[in-house]
Structure 1
Amino acid sequence: MKAVKSLRVVSAVVLSLGAGGAHAAGFQLLEQNASGIGNAYAGSAAIAENASTIFFNPAGMTRLPGVNVSGGLIGIRPSFKFHDDGSTGPGGLPLGTNNGGDAGSLAAVPNAYISWEVNPSWFVGLGIGAPFGLMTEYDEGWIGRYHSKKFKIKSININPSVAYKVNDQLSIGAGVNWLQLDANYRRNSPAAGLISRLPGGMANPLAPRLLGAPDLEAQAKLKGDAWGWNLGLLYQATPDTRIGLSYRSKVKIDTSGDTNIDNPTPVPIPTHFDASADVELPDTAILSVVHDLNSKWQLLADVSWTGWSSIKTLKIDNGYPPLNDELDLRFRDTWRVALGANYRLNHQWTLKGGVAWDQSPVDSSKYRPTSLPDNDRYWVSIGAQYNFNDQTTIDIGYAHLFLNNTSIDNDTDAATKGTVRGEYTSNANMLGIQVSHRF
């Protein structure tokens, strides 16, 4: 009963915060626990040190006797600073000199897990987290305002799981996932260009009269949910070496909502439209190895793959073709490689470290969106674990993500949005805490 009550409290926090700021590649949130930050998430599908293994590999629950509860919170602070190099507006519209400030913002990513040993062979569990998230927001009047001003994605994933211990070497696990996605996309549009395309609006020959008018602002709010699944395998190859393999399925979500237009011009136009968009979120696979070198040192490694090519475009249907919006993304599949080590200082303290290379799904300056100015990143992580006793541990982890300078030359919809041309300087910092307890 204490475990269930604790999960309810932490779950309420998860559901209230959601997630708004990614920092795995793309808009995936690898940060499903804070205990893995210190190792840059190396060994994630094989370590199984607390109930958060439910997300990375449900088969890992067989290493957790009794009832285990784990909850954490991760603060992520990305930075995206744009430097213009000849951006142009649609139809020659002036853009000004505002580079948009820092488009990154602080976000909190919570998680909560519980696992239960039903008997020596069967284990069940429940995980709650936020596997996808994004938040970029630019200053008013910035150069790329016709591409985006704000793009925010929040998600909540509820993951009931089961694991079976086949024998002392092999365990298997599976889970189902209910995933809810909430998106908010805001951008400006030149008054003349948009009004000339609205049903019943001003005809093309008159539209140029509004070239000096204030921009219109369109905001789409969309929400949807769908089901997916995940599988895992854990194999104790030798007394010192453990191998984990896991897979999470694609999730296709049909979202719906509305688009609202803020119109500061004197021309009467429709300002509300029903909106919808479909997105197929990527599948992922992880291969992990954990090796106990001796009583002090533990080595960890990870290779993971994400099927980002499921997202080629993002189309927002507003019920009228001239007003529909589309982001031409052309994402590619990506790889991530991580290495880590743990050093057991004494019975209470374990020190952690890790590095990783994380490939971006965006591989072309032409298709790099201002809403996701993403690039390959390199992780450097440190952390520590403190054991209060045999039942309770606390993990603290910190990671800095280095990104190379990122070029952008996006002219995929130059006629209506103009061309954003320049370079981003970016980085990210994350700090997390995880508390785990065994009943």
Structure 2
Amino acid sequence: MNMRISLLAQTIFWATSLCCGLAQAQLAQNLTIGSPKAMALGNAVTADFVGIDSVHYNPAALTKLKGRQTTVKFITGMMDIRADFDAPEGYGSNFLGLNNDPVANSSSRAGAAMMYLPGVGGATELPMLFAPLAGLSITPPGSKLTFATNMYTPQALGFARGDDDPGRYQGKELVIQRLTYFSPSLAYQVNDELSVGLSIGFSHQAMALNQDFRAPGVLTGFVGVARDALCLVDGNPFEIFLNICGGELGPFTDIANIDIDMQQTLSPTWNVGFLWEPN
């Protein structure tokens, strides 16, 4: 019987070891939780202890908090996103010879920070990003249960560019923000080696975007060339078929603007955690 359990355990181990996923990189995810240990270890702290922030990473680790514990944090940051747009040789040939692109060989810088202020004003430009956060945990004397709640921002990113900034086609204003304002959690220490935990997160999720659009391509290049050639001629005979002289249109013309403001005041999630520390 012992041999069968051992073979089963080995089969499960090797089967799970061979199952691998693609590595992913994210800019704002977990960065603004503000755990120095988690940031130093690249958020690889699921099997480690990060204080009250274990509500998010692994609620089972809350059993390491004894008595009554409180945490108060203030997170702040500056936004400085820069980009250079270098036009390759022969760039204008893609648009039938038009090469008067104002974005080509220019630079962009987003230095203003933005946050979504729920119930106050939506997406708001601020001098810097800031977030006051706090948490609380209670482990009654002699109990194996730990109760906790934490307020944290697992996702917060926002910036703004000028109206004439060449990077406005990748977002003139952008805010992606998730604020967990209440996260009742419960952890139970089964024995000296195993703990389990559960946390329920009540969050506010928001996204705001303001972005200009243009359509560089052969078709808009043809319209731009035709406009330059025909609109200088009085009594253009083609105008009865297609009026291209009534306004400006070309591959580098702003043709649209998108303005999005979305929020979900109650966005619930749940985390289940296990912490096994064998001797």
Tell me which interval the TM-score lies in, with the shorter structure as reference length: 0.5 to 0.7
Selected match of 1:183 from 207, 210, 235: 207
Partner AA of 1:101 in structure 2: R
Partner AA of 1:25 in structure 2: Q
Question: Equivalent pairs: percent with the same residue?
Answer: 19
Q: Cα distance, 1:208 vs. partner? A: 5.5
Query: 1:117 — aligned with what?
Result: 139
Question: 2:263 aligned with 1:219, yes or no?
Answer: no
SS at match of 1:132: strand
Question: 2:191 aligned with 1:167, yes or no?
Answer: yes
Deviations 1:297-342 (A, max 9, x none): xxxxxxxxxxxxxxxxxxxxxxxxxxxxxxxxxxxxxxxxxxxxxx
Q: Cα distance, 1:46 vs. partner? A: 4.1
Query: 2:27 — aligned with what?
Result: 26
Can you give the 5+ residue segments of structure 2 that lack an aligned partner in the other structure?
A: 1-24, 114-127, 221-240
Query: 2:102 — aligned with what?
Result: 95
Partner AA of 2:270 in structure 1: W
Deviations 1:267-306 (A, max 9, x none): xxxxxxxxxxxxxxxxxxxxxxxxxxxxxxxxxxxxxxxx
Aligned mates of 1:59, 1:180 — CA distance in 2: 24
Deviations 1:354-384 (A, max 9, x none): xxxxxxxxxxxxxxxxxxxxxxxxxxxxxxx
Query: 2:246 — aligned with what?
Result: 209
Can you give the 5+ residue segments of structure 1 that lack an aligned partner in the other structure?
A: 1-23, 194-203, 239-439
Does the aligned pair in 1 maintain the 2:54–2:61 contact within 8 Å?
Answer: yes
Give the TM-score normalised by structure 1. 0.40
Partner AA of 2:186 in structure 1: V
SS at match of 1:146: helix
- The alignment's C-alpha RMSD in Å is 3.4
Q: Cα distance, 1:109 vs. partner? A: 4.1
Q: Cα distance, 1:84 vs. partner? A: 1.0
Aligned mates of 2:85, 2:152 — CA distance in 1: 37
Greater share of strand residues, 1 or 2? 1
Pick closer, same or farther for the CA change 1:130–1:205 going to 2, 3 Å: farther
Question: 2:182 aligned with 1:145, yes or no?
Answer: no
Query: 1:154 — aligned with what?
Result: 177
Aligned mates of 1:153, 1:208 — CA distance in 2: 41
Q: Cα distance, 1:176 vs. partner? A: 1.5
Does the aligned pair in 2 maintain the 1:100–1:140 contact within 8 Å?
Answer: no
The within-5 A match list for 1:8-27 is 25-27=26-28
Aligned mates of 2:254, 2:34 — CA distance in 1: 45
Bigger-Rg structure (1/2): 2
Pick closer, same or farther for the CA change 1:147–1:169 going to 2, 3 Å: closer
Greater share of helix residues, 1 or 2? 2
The within-5 A match list for 1:25-424 is 25-36=26-37, 39-40=40-41, 44-48=45-49, 50-86=51-87, 94-96=101-103, 98-102=106-110, 105=113, 106-118=128-140, 120-157=143-180, 158-189=182-213, 205-206=242-243, 209-211=246-248, 217-224=257-264, 225-238=266-279
